[in-house]
Amino acid sequence: MQHAEVLTGYKKYISLTRPHTLTASFIPIFVGTATALPYGDIRWAMFISMLIATLLIQSATNMFNEYYDFKRGLDSEDSVGIAGAIVRNGMKPKIVLTYAVVFYVIAAIIGLYIAYSSSWWIIVVGAISMAVGYFYTGGPFPISWTPFGEVFAGLFMGTVIIMITFFIHTGTLNIFPLIISLPVAITIGLLNMFNNIRDRVKDAASGRKTFVIIVGKQRATQIVSFLLLLCYLFIIVMSFTDLFASLFMLLPLLSIKQYRKTMKLLKEGDLPIELIPAMASMGKLNTMFGVLLSIGLLIYGLIVH
């Protein structure tokens, strides 16, 4: 197996946040903010606060993942990608765990400010979301060891964040952001699935029962393609409904070329090292789809505002 790169200096600390996954943090904030524009003004202080808090929570979740995978003996010097920084880059486990806790504390403080400026219910929803982030890999029954990891990732990083973002801007809840969150939740959940496809052999040996392990790579690849095509179909249908009625909602279709590239890499790759390009491509697809969707929503919002 090809060895993963050993990182030193500041790079090994940055790697702990797993930057390629952070698209799952900022895209829902962008989309949630864009959906709020037709219903009122954007509260920029809330936007920045929510963005920072979400990035901190996502980064901390990745660090918890790093720490608990090490504790359970899942990582080795041959671990590919960013995972395995403790055993490969010589980072002390307690330092990784400390950074994760500090990031959570800072995010919680920012959350208090957001709640003070909007509603104290934000504390409840935020606390639940942070708990899910921790228990994704922590605790006696990690979510990541079950077939529901993709569902939790898509629901909390996609739909929940979009709804919270919409609420802190408008002070209300609406079906508009809920519907819009569906394709975002799917693409974020698929980011998780790509990771599970790459690690399926190692995960199976460890006793995990992820969805990918249950259905196999070939079926998982077919499901990925189906769900991504469903996202594009969703955009096409919604752009002609009374709820949106805007051709600018078709902008995400510009990411279809990236979809084709992503699926090609996923189908051709088999070994973990061969699937890293597919994961990176899926991250780009999630970013492109989300940014284009946000732009379409912003244009629509400016028209009806």
The full set of domains in the chain, from first to last, is 10-295 (1.10.600)
Name the token pair of 18: 């797993």
CB 16 within 8 A of CB 64: no
Q: pTM score, two decimals?
A: 0.91
99-105 LR contacts (CB < 8 Å, sep 24+):
99/13, 99/16, 99/60, 99/63, 100/60, 100/61, 100/63, 100/64, 100/67, 101/60, 103/56, 103/57, 103/59, 103/60, 103/63, 104/56, 104/57, 104/60, 104/130, 104/134
| Sequential pLDDT tens for the chain (305 residues) | 344 565 556 677 787 788 878 888 999 999 999 999 989 899 999 999 999 999 999 999 988 988 888 887 766 555 555 566 676 666 788 888 999 999 999 999 999 999 999 999 999 999 999 999 999 988 888 999 999 999 999 999 999 999 999 999 999 999 999 999 999 999 999 999 999 999 999 889 888 999 999 999 999 999 999 999 999 999 999 888 877 767 888 999 999 999 999 999 999 999 988 999 999 999 999 999 999 999 999 998 888 77
Q: Which residues of 33-51 are buried (b: 16+ CB within 10 A; e: fewer)?
A: bbbbbbbeebbeebbebbb
CB 157 within 8 A of CB 136: no
Contacts of 79 (CB under 8 A, 6+ apart): 4, 87, 88
